[in-house]
Amino acid sequence: MNTIINKLLGFIKSEVVLCVSFLLAAASSFIIKPDSQYIKYIDWNTLLLLFALMAVMAGLQQLGLFSKIGNILLSKISTTRQMMLILIFLPFVLSMFITNDVALITFVPFGLVVLNMADKQNLAIPLVIFQTIAANLGSMLMPMGNPQNLYLYAQSGMTLRQFICVMLPYTVLSAICLFFAVIFMKSTPFKRNASSIKLTAEVDRQADTPNLSYILISGYVIGFAICLLSVAKILPNIVPAIIILIFLLIFDRRILGKIDYSLLATFICFFIFIGNIGRHDSFCNFINQILSGNERIVAVLASQIISNVPAALLLSGFSNEWESLIVGCNLGGLGTLIASMASLISYKQIAKQYPDKKGKYLGGFTLANIIMLIILLIAPF
């Protein structure tokens, strides 16, 4: 009995957002009894494309592709400043395409390995703080950069060009701020034995079957291209989902176990909750009153409490000011540790490798996030 309780508590602790969304959906079902409209609440197009993107990213990460890219770039550096720039801008740039959480899962452990190898552990806290900020801000630019972007992009009816134009000024300013933050850090010589790096991802797990490895890489790259065609609204979202599912069933079934199904379930629960409260007049009136004309700041504040993905799902049901919601939910990823759930990935890595520095990390993380959030909020865009 104790084992079951411990497993349950462990699940709740690791999937807080999912559990909260389930409770909200369940509670709302007592107000609005389940009926035929429930199935209409769920945005299946977003879920299908999100599934396809997560599967492709899990496959490429499993093959160690992103860590290999980082290893190649790091092979020619000579100072810690150059190292920090590369390790911070890798997640910044790649998160635009591979999502912020995949960027952090890949490059935070990779960065810590590089620091340990060069005996520069003193840089661990600033590195991980700025890697996290970089991934959250870099992912703003593209719809596939994070789940809330993918959802809001689909709901808004924007073209890909329109979406990028909305977020481009904030992304450029973010890059400038990160660049100068690193430039003002003290720089020392960086000595590195390239052959000694052990990539943190499972690199070349199919090394003994090179033909299969080639098939997997080619398949995932083609799958990503098909996903981009769906993002550009050239293909229906069901097309990449079906193609990638068939590919996985034939060539790489293990990836099916590495997809973040809890995120998909969280979306479904919030769709049900939002659909139900949308049929409750009093609650709708309350949300509309506080949201009208204040979409950006309300999205930022809501994200600090419930994180930016649930904030996007909730607020989109009450406003069609899409630009303000997109900007607000993206900037809302800055601030508290839970403002963007991807930030927890970094915190867990620090807590694991440097448990005595958790407090220092949280303090530095919060301060840096607040400063960056203020800069982007007051920017005249």
Return the residue matching tokens 């104790």. Answer: 2
**Which residues, given as ranges, of the chain have pLDDT below 70?**
1, 192-212
Nearest to 303 by CA among 314, 287, 293: 314
Q: Please write the tens of the pLDDT for every residue from 315-351.
A: 988 888 999 999 999 999 999 998 998 898 898 889 8
Contact at 8 Å (CB) between 61 and 105?
yes
Write down the pLDDT at residue 193: 53
Q: Give the separation between CA 325 and CA 103, rounded to whole angstroms.
A: 24
CA pair distance 311, 300, nearest whole angstrom: 9
Kindly provide the b/e burial profile for residues 308-343, where b requires at least 16 CB atoms within 10 angstroms of the residue's own CB.
bbbbbbbbbbbbebbbbbbbbbbbbbbbbbbbbbbb
Q: Any residues with CB less than 8 A from the CB of 107 and at least 6 apart, and which?
A: 66, 67, 70, 87, 90, 91, 94, 131, 135
Amino acid at 98: I
pLDDT tens, residue by residue, 147-198: 999 999 999 999 999 999 999 999 999 999 999 999 998 888 877 554 444 4
The neighbour count for residue 297, using CB atoms within 10 Å, is: 15
Tokens of 278: 């949308």
Query: What is the structure's pLDDT at 41?
Result: 86
This prediction has a pTM of 0.81
Dihedral (CA of 108, 112, 115, 121) sign: positive
Q: What is the pLDDT of residue 276?
A: 87
Contact 166, 323 (CB under 8 A): yes
Q: Which residue type occupies 105?
A: I
Residue type, 81: R
3-state SS track over the chain:
CHHHHHHHHHHHHHCHHHHHHHHHHHHHHHHCCCCCCHHHHCCHHHHHHHHHHHHHHHHHHHCCHHHHHHHHHHCCCCEHHHHHHHHHHHHHHHHHHHCHHHHHHHHHHHHHHHHHHCCCHHHHHHHHHHHHHHHHHHCCCCHHHCHHHHHHHHHHCCCHHHHHHHHHHHHHHHHHHHHHHHHCCCCCECCCCHHHCCCCCCCCCCCCCHHHHHHHHHHHHHHHHHHHHHHCCCCCCHHHHHHHHHHHHHHCHHHHHCCCHHHHHHHHHHHHHHHHHCCCHHHHHHHHHHHCCCHHHHHHHHHHHHCHHHHHHHHCCCCCCHHHHHHHHHHCCCCCCCCCCCHHHHHHHHHHHCHHHHHHHHHHHHHHHHHHHHHHHHCCC
Answer whether 12's CB lies under 8 Å from 23's CB: no
Which of 38, 20, 111 has its CA nearest to residue 276?
A: 38
Write the CB contacts of 351 (distance below 8 Å, at least 6 apart in sequence): 358
Report the distance separating Cα 378 and Cα 304, nearest Å: 18
Q: Scanning the structure block, which residue is given the tokens 């509309």? A: 288
How many CA atoms within 13 Å lie on the side-chain side of 211?
A: 0
